[in-house]
């Protein structure tokens, strides 16, 4: 148990190190969440554009016949 406390204390710097780790984890999690959200929005927008293109091509091929 003493070694665990020593690890948390980190020679007196634990009060600075552990919050820094916490901030780092929060920032990385936020970047991950925002990136995934942006990717999902881009995929949805791409699907809409692809459907519009398919519809336009179908309409163009009908008018050429």
Q: Is residue 62 part of a domain?
A: yes
Q: What pLDDT sits at residue 65?
A: 66
Residue 45 located in a structural domain:
yes
Q: Which domain holds residue 63?
A: 25-65
- Assigned domain for 19 exists: no
| pLDDT at 17 > cutoff 70 | yes
Residue 51 lies inside a defined structural domain of this protein = yes
Q: Please tell me the total count of domains within the chain.
A: 1
31 or 3, which is more confident: 31
Using an 8 Å Cβ cutoff, are 10 and 3 in contact? Answer: no
Instruction: Please state, rounded to an integer, the average pLDDT across all residues of the chain.
Output: 93
Q: Per the domain annotation, does 3 fall within a domain?
A: no
Mean pLDDT to the nearest integer, 44-52: 97
Q: Is residue 63 part of a domain?
A: yes
pTM of the predicted model as reported, rounded to 2 decimal places: 0.71
């Amino acid at each position: 148990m003493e070694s665990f406390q020593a690890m948390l204390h980190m020679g007196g710097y634990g009060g600075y190190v552990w919050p820094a780790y916490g901030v780092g984890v929060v920032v990385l999690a936020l970047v991950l969440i925002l990136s995934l959200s942006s990717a999902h929005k881009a995929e949805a927008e791409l699907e809409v554009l692809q459907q519009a293109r398919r519809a336009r091509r179908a309409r163009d091929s009908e008018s050429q016949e």
